[in-house]
Amino acid sequence: MHFCLGQEAAPAALSPLLQAADHIVSHYRSHGYYLAKGAPLPEMIAEFHGKTTGSNGGTAGSMELGHDDSHFFSGAIVGGPVGIAMGMAFAMKYRNAPGIAISVIGDGALDEGVSHEALNLAALHAVPLLTICENNLYAAHTPEAMRTMSRSLIERVRPIGMPAEKLDGTDIVKLHLRLKEIVSEIRRGAGPRFIEIETYRYCGHVGPENDDWLGYRTAEEIAAWRKRDPIPLLRGQARELGISEEALLNVEAAIETEISAAFDAARRDDFPGFGRGPVERSSRTVRSCARSARDRTRPSPGSVISSGDGSRAR
């Protein structure tokens, strides 16, 4: 599981700007964006546990997390989200359908050809696509300096002909206000935009543990970014606006209760198994495909088909 602890600002800032018709295609560090799109928390937690009540029936897990009704999708293929979201944005424009498409990628995705091809087409066709690139300084354990001569993600995107800008991923309020302008420009038909978010992940590339012992980053670097944590900063801004400590604690307690209830329910729910849930559904699908394949190969009256052993059958 790829945690986004430390990287909460962008999905939090984006969430209030999203509409039902919008579609998000995210990379695997997607939990914040799933919630930002309004997909239900209990189904996400159940999905993590591999349970039938999960958003994908327990078959996708964290890495391929999706919620069809919320138009939220994610996947493991680095760079993949840009191509898929570009297709969605193209379809929206072609069909004059409401909504915008949002692709969420990491900095490593700009090292993949598909990102550049898809961004190029998005710019050419002026489709309603917002690409959010979360630059957390590393692709797994490899820093940018070991992957490219370029030291700027947005300078790699601009020659494509797409406006690109870099935003601070620690101040949720500032980020929200700028994203609000950008999203409304895209909704007005101004074409696609690329946003690089400066951010940092606290946990290892995969899993909840600290990984400074691997040697690709230092404990000091992690500590320095923790001092810029977006959540305490937001708390401070809320206090400055006159929101009481008690009100903030009440919000936190309500969220804790919601999360605990989701975990309790997920632990009680069933694993998919034969005769239950999606496995039953998929075996039904396999059976019906096999039936229709058989029906297709059945000779229609008067036709001649091969019997499979080289002889002819009528």
Ligand X SMILES: Cc1ncc(C[n+]2csc(CCOP(=O)(O)OP(=O)(O)O)c2C)c(N)n1
Contacts with ligand X by CB under 6 A lie at 27, 29, 76-79, 106-109, 112, 136, 138-140, 205
What minimum distance in Å lies between the beta carbon of 197 and Mg ion? 11
What minimum distance in Å lies between the beta carbon of 232 and Mg ion? 23
Q: What single string gives the DSSP state of each residue in 175-235?
A: HHHHHHHHHHHHHTT---EEEEEE----S-SSSSS--GGGSSS-HHHHHHHHTT-HHHHHH
Per CB under 5 A, 136 contacts Mg ion: yes
What minimum distance in Å lies between the beta carbon of 7 and ligand X? 8
Contact call for residues 51 and 273 (beta carbons, < 8 A): no
Contact call for residues 90 and 125 (beta carbons, < 8 A): yes
In this structure, the number of other CB atoms found within 10 A of the CB of residue 292 comes to 10
Ramachandran region of residue 72, left (φ > 0), alpha (ψ -120 to 50) or beta?
A: beta
Per CB under 5 A, 106 contacts Mg ion: yes
Residue with smaller CB distance to Mg ion, 70 or 136: 136
Per CB under 5 A, 107 contacts Mg ion: yes
Binding partner at 109 among ligand X, Mg ion, none, C-beta below 5 to 8 Å by kind: ligand X
What minimum distance in Å lies between the beta carbon of 204 and ligand X? 10
Binding partner at 249 among Mg ion, ligand X, none, C-beta below 5 to 8 Å by kind: none
Phi and psi of 60, rounded to 5°?
A: -105, -35
Find, among 139, 140, 122, the residue nearest to 131 by Cα. 122
Residue with smaller CB distance to ligand X, 33 or 72: 33
Residue with smaller CB distance to ligand X, 175 or 262: 175
Residue with smaller CB distance to ligand X, 116 or 125: 116
Give me the residue whose beta carbon is nearest to Mg ion.
106
Binding partner at 46 among ligand X, Mg ion, none, C-beta below 5 to 8 Å by kind: none
Segment interacting with Mg ion (CB under 5 A) among 121-129, 134-142, 188-196, 245-253: 134-142
Locate 131 and state its tokens: 């690409």
Residue with smaller CB distance to ligand X, 40 or 87: 87
Binding partner at 230 among Mg ion, ligand X, none, C-beta below 5 to 8 Å by kind: none
Binding partner at 35 among ligand X, Mg ion, none, C-beta below 5 to 8 Å by kind: none
In this structure, what DSSP letter does residue 159 have?
A: G
Q: What single string gives the DSSP state of each residue in 35-78?
A: HHTT--HHHHHHHHTT-TTSTTTTSSTTTT--BGGGTEEE-SST
CA distances from 150 to 39, 45, 145, 243, 286 (A): 37, 39, 8, 44, 49
Binding partner at 45 among Mg ion, ligand X, none, C-beta below 5 to 8 Å by kind: none
In this structure, the number of other CB atoms found within 10 A of the CB of residue 152 comes to 14
What minimum distance in Å lies between the beta carbon of 29 and Mg ion? 8
- The contact set with Mg ion (CB under 5 A) reads 106-107, 136
